[in-house]
Amino acid sequence: MVSGLILIVGILFLALGLITDLSVKKIPLKVERVIGEKLVPGFPGTRLGSLDPLLNQIMNKVPEDSIVHKYGVKLYSYESPEINALAMPGGRILISEGLLNALESENELVMVLGHELGHYNQRDHLRGLGRGLGMVVLASLITGPNSRMTDFVMTTFLSFQLNYSRAQERSADEFGVELLIKHYGHGGGSIEFFERLLVNNPHPPEFLSTHPDPENRIDHIRELIQNSGVGMGETVPFQIPAELAK
Ligand SMILES: [Zn+2]
């Protein structure tokens, strides 16, 4: 009796893992947006709009056939002294005010932005939702994305954690470097931010420390820039938009 129950729970657990794995690449954008709308209010003081002109310029450099264009990406800042950036489900990129304050050039911001867009390009940003994602997809298939059931499952089982593999971070860096070079014509600003925050910092921000070997990551970025035949040109100073400055 008990072993039968354990078997059923085990099968359900495996099935949920399978659904989650499939969902990460196949989840309809509509469901993803509903999830994103649910999660964004968990971040205090989100503000939209100030950095849109820069975001639009970068979006113009994203390859035409990339799924990123389907997201209608929006860039939000949120109130937090921590240095953090997240590609939320549904195309909302959240950048903390702590990160904006730590930037020394616009190029560094474009690198961070390009990296987050890379996660949408690979559609690996949903992995951080874990098995809860499988449950949300199941609920929304059965009862619709806006149903009370889906809402309940989301509130109960979803929490967003940064959970990328080394390979995913590497591909996101590659995507970011490509956009940076297309935008500025050189690789300046691609490494400085990581160097300041990873190598010289005993407590690197969490979103950067998911990668096990920061120096490796920096070497890889440097190599990408060398291989593309461009140098490290001069960077553009970054000014925090007046409405975000405190
Ligand atoms: Zn990342």
Cα(80) to ligand 1 centroid in Å equals: 19
pLDDT in tens, 176-227: 999 999 999 999 999 988 888 776 666 666 667 655 567 788 889 999 999 9
Cα pseudo-dihedral 146, 148, 150, 153, rounded to 10: 150
pLDDT for the residue numbered 162: 66
For position 117, what pLDDT does the model report? Answer: 96
Interval between CA 115 and ligand 1 midpoint (Å): 6
pLDDT of residue 212: 56
- 121 CA distance to ligand 1 middle (Å): 12
What is the whole-number distance in angstroms between the Cα of residue 53 and the centre of ligand 1? 23
| Per-residue pLDDT at 54 | 92
What pTM did the predictor assign?
0.85
* Ion ligand 1 — residues with CB < 5 Å: 169, 172
Buried b (16+ CB within 10 A) or exposed e, 190-205: bbbbbeebbeeeeebb
The stretches in the chain having pLDDT less than 70 are 1, 23, 160-162, 199-207, 209-213, 245-246
Give the per-residue pLDDT at 127.
74
pLDDT of residue 198: 74
Strand 92-96 relative to strand 74-78, pairing: parallel
For residue 207, the CA-to-ligand 1 centroid distance in Å is 7
